[in-house]
Amino acid sequence: MRLAPYLDAERERIVATLFEWLRIPSISAHPDRAGDVRASAELCARLLTEAGLEHVQLLETPGHPAVYGDWLHAGPDAPTALVYGHHDVQPVDPLELWTSPPFEPAIVDGECRARGAIDDKGQVLYEIEAVRGLLQTESRLPVNVKFLIEGEEEVGSPNFEALLREHAERLGCDMVVVSDTGMWAPDVPSTCVGMRGLVAFDVHVRTASGDLHSGMFGGAVPNPVHLLAGIVADLHDADGRVTIPGFYDRVRPLTEVEEASLAALPFDEAAWMANAGVRRLDGEAGQSTLARIGYRPTCEVVGFGAGYTGEGIKTIVPAEGACKVTFRLVADQDPDDVTAAFRSWLEERIPDGVDVTVTPEGGVAPALTPVDHPAVGALCRAIETVWGTAPLFTREGGSGPEEALGRMLDAPVLFLGVGLPGDRLHAPNERMVMDQFWKGLLAAGELWHELVR
């Protein structure tokens, strides 16, 4: 592997660099950490410059800054790749569950433990170091490379589409490489080819001007708890399928290659249930657990509030109540279509004399890269070179800015992520398994050469 000598010579410096970055508490969700997020962006800019990238600068947004840098000397006929990642991190609560301080990184049992180790500073760093290594050992890159490292991913990327629009010409590329995902297992390499979309709603109903005495009014006035409970129950049929008309009409079936990859993934359902802390499974009938959590669209009630929930009993008929509903979407479901269908479905269930307010809480379209795209073939060859076996194809159940990247830059999205299921993303004791980190660095170096093929 072409970067193995570089890795051996630079290993200690790279670990020290990782630690330096991880010590910055760049928590984008905390307003009082804005200075730390900026400090993280500035350090990222320094790392890009030291790696040999040019035109490095912070891209300002109404929130936290992103970082840009490029190396564009491979020539006009060479492909241009944009590397996407993020330098902001999640809050650390609950702090008492950390076995070591979250911003004092340490290597324990081959793991780098710190907030941001896997999500996403560690994965961004191996992309930077791969470029640095190739420029040091080969004096050039086989492709043109651009970096865009965001500072608001952990708060939903509220300014990201505007940033892409503002800098569209600068960010133009032939493919996007994302290192913010994971693999199935250390000995089962995989690459994500899709992420689900998301639409979410806050549904508020009011049946009276104020709470009413249940003895004087109960049995004769509408009860918002009863109404909401019926709505929530009606979201799914007896087979666990979402009842919104047309919800499944545009769901793209899996290809034969994806079906084969899904069947080949080693999955211990009992262990998965134990990890989740559940004793039974539910969901869409006729679908496997893996299909339900990553390949099929879903509807979940994520919040429900109405009436009195304190100690004892308060004899009232509540005047109002609310629930929060999310839909995870897959290709080719359209968030606007699902939103319109949900509103129509809901209106049919609200009786006269009841006020309902539906507030959308953002929306993200699903992302999917065809497994037969030539760039996916290049990525698979790079992974096979390092891990020794061809990767399987997976899809992520979550949602992120990858759809906006692919849509607005009109480019396929490749996922070179090395995270593992036990990395405790967004939780105490987040980790990066260092063997995965080093392999990610090697694979990133191989990818640039494979893309030329």
As to burial, measured by CB atoms within 10 angstroms (0-12 exposed, 13-18 middle, 19+ buried), residue 263 is exposed
The pLDDT assigned to 453 comes to 86
The pLDDT assigned to 399 comes to 82
The pLDDT assigned to 369 comes to 95
Q: Which domains does the chain have, with CATH numbers?
A: 4-195+366-452 (3.40.630.10), 197-251+297-364 (3.30.70.360)
The pLDDT assigned to 102 comes to 98
The pLDDT assigned to 400 comes to 83
Q: Are strands 175-178 and 413-415 parallel, antiparallel or unpaired?
A: parallel
The pLDDT assigned to 156 comes to 87
Which amino acid appears at position 260 of this protein? A
The pLDDT assigned to 72 comes to 98
Pairwise CA distance, residues 222 & 142, whole Å? 69
Sequence-separated (6 or more) residues with CB below 8 Å from residue 381? 446, 450, 453
Pairwise CA distance, residues 330 & 250, whole Å? 9
Collect the ranges in the chain with pLDDT lower than 50: none
Give yes or no for a contact between 225 and 428, defined as CB atoms under 8 angstroms apart. no
**Which residue is it, tokens 């429900």?**
304
Give the H or E element holding residue 146. strand 144-150
The runs of H, that is alpha helices, within 23-139 are 34-51, 121-138
The 10s digit of each residue's pLDDT in 419-436 is: 999 999 999 999 999 999
Handedness of CA 238, 303, 157, 23 (dihedral sign): negative
The 10s digit of each residue's pLDDT in 276-292 is: 999 999 999 999 999 99
Q: Report pTM.
A: 0.90
The answer to whether the peptide bond before residue 180 is cis (omega within 30 degrees of 0) is no
Which amino acid appears at position 119 of this protein? D
How confident is the prediction for the chain on average, in pLDDT? 97
Sequence-separated (6 or more) residues with CB below 8 Å from residue 179? 83, 85, 120, 123, 124, 126, 127, 415, 416, 417, 418, 440, 444
The distance in angstroms from the start CA to the end CA of the chain is 17
Helix 4-22 vs helix 121-138: crossing angle, to nearest 10: 140
Furthest-apart CA atoms within the chain: distance in Å? 84
